[in-house]
Structure 1
Amino acid sequence: MLWIAIRMLTGDKQKFYGLVFGIAFSTLLITQQLTIFVNLIERGASGAYNVGEAEVWVMDPVSRTTDVAYALPPTALDAVRGVPGVDWAVPHLRSSASVRTRDGDLEGVAIIGVDDATLIGLPKRMAEGSIDVLSQPDSVIIDDVGAVNMFGEGRDPIGERLELNDQRAVVRAIADATPSFTSQVTLYTKYSQALNYVPGTRNRMSFVLAGVADGLTAEEVADRIESQTGLKAETRDEFAQAGVDFIIENTGIPTNFGITVVLGFVVGVAIVGLTFSLFIRDNIKQFGALKAIGVTNGRILRMVTVQAALVGLIGYGLGVLGTVAFLWGFSGSPFFKGFYIPWQIPLVSLVAVILILAITGVLALRSVFRTEPASVFR
């Protein structure tokens, strides 16, 4: 009987392909949009994860993310260093600035000042050059995505001269860093040099980065810092999550992507439901004949379930492969750097496909169950 069900399904090629297309399109839309959404909001955590050495981030109590921070007074650094359990602590500056290129273009950039002695605050990997270039005068390191955005594809930024706050800056290396949410150009330099590049204010230290002594956890040291200094201290994971939450709470991205995902589900139900109903209607005589020779509604339900499973398996596979092909095709674009498909997303798409097939199958089977066996002889 199950083989008969498959032959009935594949015998009508137009409706079979229509069902497969409906499932594949719905799966592609849901999987692709969820993948882009997750990767975009995860970039809110890039500022914290690009600094691999910092186990604890110390900031003003009103600061929220790496990009939304209130400057600390210089005394905060010594206060953090005096907390028991802090292995080391270094200053960290993050600020926005306008830069003028050699061609006369004006660009908005993010300036990151790292500790002069240890260079803690730089990304873990370098795409070109070495972190040692910061020992040279007026040196800056540009992130790889920012290099493409500022200078264009195929142009080597090494040696390019920039003007920052009437100060000279020379690009001497390229960092392999996770892009920020806005993909803004990021320039890394020493803390002392960064103070010359950003407009002068009384307090300019954005954060204090701290390490944890052996035998203690980051959570314990963060609690000690908060209780003894009155500043806010968060572990790297907590601060990264705060960046993600800030994007979710303050942008329309979740709503926009959520609408697209819902539309993908609705379109899948519409296409598959209509095509499945037409398939059942065109084969109502065959189902009636089966009931006339003694096939029960339960057996017919299993037959339709096999048909739906076959269509769902093929369509789901094509949809997921389409998402993989999409990411592979745009892997060379700096805007899609580091994009991946979390394992939870294909599971969400699979559940959506099962719901689509269940809803459309139940609606289509009503006419079959109401069909009288004698109707086939009329």
Structure 2
Amino acid sequence: MLWIAIRMLTGDRQKFFGLLFGIAFSTLLITQQLTLFVNLLERGASGVFNNANGEVYVMDPVSRTADVVYPMPSTALDRVRSVKGVEWAVPQIRANAAVRTRQGDLEQVAIIGVDDATLIGLPKRLVKGDKNDLRIPDSVIIDDVGAIRMFPGSDPVGERLELNDQRAVIHGIADAVPGFTSTAVLYTTYSRALTFVPGTRNRMSFVIVGAEAGVTPEALAQRIHQQTGLRARTRDEFAQDGVDFILENSGIPFNFGVTVALGFIVGVAIVGLTFSLFIRDNIRQFGALKAIGVTNGKIIRMVAAQAGMVGSIGYCLGLVGTVVSLSLFTRNPFFKGFYVPWQVPLISLMAVIIILAFTGWVALRNVLRTEPAAVFR
């Protein structure tokens, strides 16, 4: 009986391919949009991901993310170092500035000043150059996406920049995760960052802390908060803060949610209409099967086999389309590092199952109500 059901389905090619298109399109739209949504959210945590070291981040109580920060006095560093369980603690400054290139172009950049002695705060890997080049006077390291944006088609190493009337020379390119706004990032030493970006009396953005052996980051963060009154977050918590900030203060969840919902609705509409037309056109065949003794249970299994075949093929085609479309996205450096979380295909699979279950049930009602004698009318 199942073979007969498959032959009935594939015999009407127009409706068969229409069902495949509906499932594939819904899978593509849902999977692609959820993937873009998750990856864009994670860009809010890029300031944490780009730091190769650090288990706890300490900041002013009103600071929220790596990009929304209120500076602290330099004395906060000594207060944090005095907390029991702190193995090391280094300062970091994050500020925005406008730079002028040799060609006279003006660009907005983010300045990150890392500890002069240890250089903690740099990305783990450099595409070009060496991190010790930061000890050269006026040297900075630019992130790879910023390098492409500011110097398209050319090597930025050796380029001179005018940064708030100060001279800066690019000595390296860092392999970094782009931020949410894809702003170019310049890394330099903490002391040099203070001269590049003059400001108020309090300048330090964060204190990055390493825990002693046997001390968990969660316990250390709580201890720092209790003894200093500063906000202390573990690496994972601070990364999540960046994601939560985007969720709470942007229209991204709503916009992507609408697109995913449209993908689901379009899938229901296309598959439901096509499946109903298929069942209606084959109502005499189903009636003939019932006339020769096929029970409603077997009819249900036949329709389920047809839905399962269409769903599995359409779902796979949708995933292939998602991979192809994302591969085109990742050729753009601003979409660097995009990936498909394993939860997203599962969500798409559940959506396909719901679409097929709902539309199959609607279409099946006519078959179950059909009398065997209808085939002779």
Indicate whether the TM-score tops 0.5. yes
Matched to 1:137, the amino acid is: P
Secondary structure of residue in 1 paired with 2:204: coil
Matched to 1:91, the amino acid is: P
* CA distance in structure 2 between the aligned counterparts of 1:54 and 1:300, rounded to whole angstroms: 62
Number of the residue aligned with 2:129: 129
Deviation per CA, 1:98-120: give whole Å up to 9, x if none: 11111111111000000000000
Number of the residue aligned with 2:104: 104
Matched to 2:164, the amino acid is: N
Matched to 2:44, the amino acid is: G
Secondary structure of residue in 1 paired with 2:119: coil
Deviation per CA, 1:239-277: give whole Å up to 9, x if none: 000000000000000000000000000000000001001
1:373 Cα deviation from its structure 2 partner: 0.5
Number of the residue aligned with 2:50: 50
Number of the residue aligned with 2:8: 8
Secondary structure of residue in 2 paired with 1:123: coil
Secondary structure of residue in 1 paired with 2:172: strand
Structure 2 counterparts to residues 202-221 of structure 1, below 5 A: 202-221=201-220
* CA distance in structure 1 between the aligned counterparts of 2:154 and 2:32, rounded to whole angstroms: 31
Number of the residue aligned with 2:286: 287
* CA distance in structure 2 between the aligned counterparts of 1:141 and 1:242, rounded to whole angstroms: 26
Number of the residue aligned with 1:222: 221
TM-score (ref. length: structure 1): 0.99
1:199 Cα deviation from its structure 2 partner: 2.8
Number of the residue aligned with 1:114: 114
1:200 Cα deviation from its structure 2 partner: 2.1
Structure 2 counterparts to residues 13-162 of structure 1, below 5 A: 13-152=13-152, 154-162=153-161
Tell me, which stretches of 5 or more residues in structure 1 are unaligned? none
Number of the residue aligned with 1:183: 182
TM-score (ref. length: structure 2): 0.99
Secondary structure of residue in 1 paired with 2:192: helix
* CA distance in structure 2 between the aligned counterparts of 1:199 and 1:3, rounded to whole angstroms: 77
* CA distance in structure 2 between the aligned counterparts of 1:351 and 1:14, rounded to whole angstroms: 26
* CA distance in structure 2 between the aligned counterparts of 1:282 and 1:54, rounded to whole angstroms: 66
* CA distance in structure 2 between the aligned counterparts of 1:179 and 1:129, rounded to whole angstroms: 19
Identity of aligned residues (%): 72
* CA distance in structure 2 between the aligned counterparts of 1:271 and 1:68, rounded to whole angstroms: 45
Secondary structure of residue in 2 paired with 1:94: strand
Matched to 1:41, the amino acid is: L
Secondary structure of residue in 1 paired with 2:227: helix
Matched to 2:124, the amino acid is: K
Matched to 1:104, the amino acid is: G
Deviation per CA, 1:116-172: give whole Å up to 9, x if none: 0000000001111110110111000000011111111x2111111111110011111
Structure 2 counterparts to residues 206-285 of structure 1, below 5 A: 206-285=205-284
Q: Is 1:376 the equivalent of 2:353? A: no
* CA distance in structure 2 between the aligned counterparts of 1:202 and 1:81, rounded to whole angstroms: 21
Deviation per CA, 1:201-224: give whole Å up to 9, x if none: 111100011110111111111111
Q: Is 1:297 the equivalent of 2:304? A: no
* CA distance in structure 1 between the aligned counterparts of 2:367 and 2:187, rounded to whole angstroms: 69
* CA distance in structure 2 between the aligned counterparts of 1:332 and 1:373, rounded to whole angstroms: 59
* CA distance in structure 1 between the aligned counterparts of 2:198 and 2:121, rounded to whole angstroms: 21
Matched to 2:216, the amino acid is: T
Instruction: Judge which range, 139-148 or 325-334, deviates more.
Output: 325-334
* CA distance in structure 2 between the aligned counterparts of 1:156 and 1:277, rounded to whole angstroms: 60
Matched to 1:92, the amino acid is: Q
* CA distance in structure 2 between the aligned counterparts of 1:339 and 1:206, rounded to whole angstroms: 29
Matched to 1:180, the amino acid is: G
* CA distance in structure 2 between the aligned counterparts of 1:280 and 1:294, rounded to whole angstroms: 19
Number of the residue aligned with 1:336: 335
1:195 Cα deviation from its structure 2 partner: 0.5
1:33 Cα deviation from its structure 2 partner: 0.2
Secondary structure of residue in 1 paired with 2:67: coil
Number of the residue aligned with 2:310: 311
* CA distance in structure 1 between the aligned counterparts of 2:290 and 2:301, rounded to whole angstroms: 14
Deviation per CA, 1:181-205: give whole Å up to 9, x if none: 1111000000011011113211110
Superposition RMSD on alpha carbons, in Å?
0.7
Matched to 2:49, the amino acid is: Y
Matched to 1:185, the amino acid is: A
* CA distance in structure 2 between the aligned counterparts of 1:367 and 1:199, rounded to whole angstroms: 76
Secondary structure of residue in 2 paired with 1:111: strand
* CA distance in structure 2 between the aligned counterparts of 1:354 and 1:215, rounded to whole angstroms: 48
Secondary structure of residue in 2 paired with 1:124: coil
* CA distance in structure 1 between the aligned counterparts of 2:129 and 2:296, rounded to whole angstroms: 71
Number of the residue aligned with 1:163: 162
1:328 Cα deviation from its structure 2 partner: 1.8
1:52 Cα deviation from its structure 2 partner: 2.2
Instruction: Judge which range, 327-336 or 287-296, deviates more.
Output: 327-336
Matched to 1:359, the amino acid is: F
* CA distance in structure 2 between the aligned counterparts of 1:221 and 1:6, rounded to whole angstroms: 62
